[in-house]
Structure 1
Amino acid sequence: MVSPITPKRLESNSTIAFVSPSARLNHELPAVMSRATAVLTGQGYKVHELFTSDTGIQSSIDNRLSELRAAFSDPTISAIICTIGGPCFNELLPALIADTDLHKTIRANPKIVVGCSDITGLHWFLHALTGLRTFYGPGAIPELGQSISADDDDDDDDASPVAFCAKHLLRAITQTQPLGDVAISPTYAPKPVPCLWSLFSPLRACLGRYNILFDSFSFGATSFWYGLLELGG
């Protein structure tokens, strides 16, 4: 297994790239993308959206690979946020696994990477083949691009789901100390059913989408998964 590497924290005025390595909805949801962009530019960051319209399945694969390579290779980009999950990230894995030049680029210039659901495949690739530590977190479309109610108080960081989400995302990627406890959103998440976990042997936990984790066995480098407890859906 490669040695782990940790990206630098996100500094003010840095550039964040939006990429879509699975579902391709940027052009179908321009208002949502604009809202997600505004959330980050409103905090003093620059946003660079990497997206080329697809003309077919192979075009989509080529575009997604090109956009990922561009995001990781551009020295002006400090963080990468995936726009959404989807059904087909694993189409990219054979090419990404074979691209040893990209692996070297990622290790030489590690960046913050955020995404969830189908982006589990990207997290696996980055961790298993480059050692990059990444963030399983919100996407531009389903979380950061949510509509904000007119009743929300702009001065309250927890007034809306999107404000709450952005606040704690930025806490995670702009600080060097441990994140600590994250409160339950007062306007979105219901209180969980009281329960306790009981572990009977020491295990490491892995958060992700289980079918993507299982797919990764097809590509080798499976020793990483031994002794892991999978969390998620």
Structure 2
Amino acid sequence: MEIVKPPKLSSGDTVGIVSPASPIAAFCPNRLQRGVECLKNLGFQVTLGTYTSKQTGHTAGTIEDRLSDLHAMYRNPDVKVIVPTIGGYNSHQLLEQLNFDLIAQNPKILLGYSDITALQLGIFARTGMVTYMGPALLPQFGEFGGVFPYTWDSLQNVLMNPQPNGQPMRQSEQWTEENLQWDREDTRARVMQVSTGWKILKHGTAYGRIIAGNLSTLLLLAGTPYWPDMNGAILCVEDDETTDVAMVDRYLTQLRQMGVYHQVSALVVGRFLSATGFSAEDSLETVLTIATRGYAFPIIYDIDFGHTDPMMVLANGVMASLEADHSIALKYVESTVSK
């Protein structure tokens, strides 16, 4: 399959906002507006989908509503990047009726994370279009005081630079998982923690295409035409606060039993929230060691992506290398966008 990279993002470009999954934008208009203003302050124009703030039960509009907004953004020649308001649940409902020909004919950056994994990896699997795990409107661009500098720096490096800089991805010095209720409590900066750094579980080197996403959402694609090619992949996974230790174990074991560990060249695990419940007696290291027993590929964890902030941007389908020895060097070895 030919890999297609969307054109780079430039200052002054138009960002299209959609809600392909949950209807959270309907309940926090102030946070929505703050995210829009952040993007404008960063130098972009913004257009909102017709159904961005709609609620139909547990989703942001019907399947047809959400498809209409997404297709409209791909048809709009002014829109260069599509940013979801948030993830949530049920974006995979759109895959059966998604116009993959339209998407292939109009290469654009699709950003987002969490439940948006279903769209990003489904599109990559069906079209070869590179997609980008990264910030969404409400949680990151709607942050009090604006998007975190680390997140913005990573976005610029990955989406606005058509030349690979050959530099390893930088580790954040601080991070936060503090949860302030949107439109009620988010009127101050969140409390930050000092990062203890990225960690190595299994040493080694790897070279392969980045495949990144939310672990539980990725597994929704198993056995469907939307499952991405894992051969040689540097698989990057994370999950949210609704996922406990037993569920993480369950998901990692499913990957094992699907034969994914026979295929990948490395496993990169994002930082989990404390609500997941890992402890000294029931640790992530133990769960990973048991799930990947018998495999020698490198494994690193506590990496800056997932449901903590700030976050890096990971480009699905782009070649990268990993060196996990005395220190960790994860870097792209080719351009992440086209000119």
TM-score > 0.5, shorter chain as reference = yes
The change in CA–CA distance for 1:204 and 1:41 in structure 2 (over 3 A counts) is closer
Question: Do residues 131 (structure 1) and 131 (structure 2) align?
Answer: no
Which amino acid in 2 is paired with 1:69? H
Which amino acid in 2 is paired with 1:78? K
Unaligned runs of 5+ in 2: 177-194, 239-339
Q: Is the 8 A contact 1:144 1:166 kept in 2?
A: no
**Aligned-pair distance for 1:193?**
5.4
**Aligned-pair distance for 1:227?**
4.8
Counterparts of 1:1-233 in structure 2 under 5 Å?
Answer: 2-52=1-51, 53-56=54-57, 59-96=61-98, 102-148=99-145, 162-178=148-164, 180-188=167-175, 190-192=195-197, 194-195=199-200, 197-199=202-204, 204-220=209-225, 222=227, 224-228=229-233, 230-233=235-238
Q: Is the 8 A contact 2:124 2:228 kept in 1?
A: no
Unaligned runs of 5+ in 1: 97-101, 149-159
**Aligned-pair distance for 1:192?**
2.1
**Aligned-pair distance for 1:216?**
1.5
Q: Is the 8 A contact 2:23 2:58 kept in 1?
A: no
SS of aligned partner of 1:213? helix
**Aligned-pair distance for 1:181?**
3.4
Instruction: Give per-residue Cα distances to partners, 1:20-43, cap 9 Å, x unaligned.
Output: 111122221111112211222112
Measure, in 1, the Cα distance between the counterparts of 2:211 and 2:106: 25
SS of aligned partner of 2:223? helix
TM-score w.r.t. the length of structure 1 is 0.81
Which amino acid in 1 is paired with 2:223? S
- Would you say how many aligned residue pairs link Structure 1 and Structure 2? 216
Q: Is the 8 A contact 2:171 2:198 kept in 1?
A: no
User: Of Structure 1 and Structure 2, which has the larger fraction of its residues in helix?
Assistant: 1
Measure, in 2, the Cα distance between the counterparts of 1:54 and 1:177: 41
The change in CA–CA distance for 1:176 and 1:193 in structure 2 (over 3 A counts) is closer
User: Of Structure 1 and Structure 2, which has the larger fraction of its residues in strand?
Assistant: 2
Measure, in 2, the Cα distance between the counterparts of 1:123 and 1:15: 20
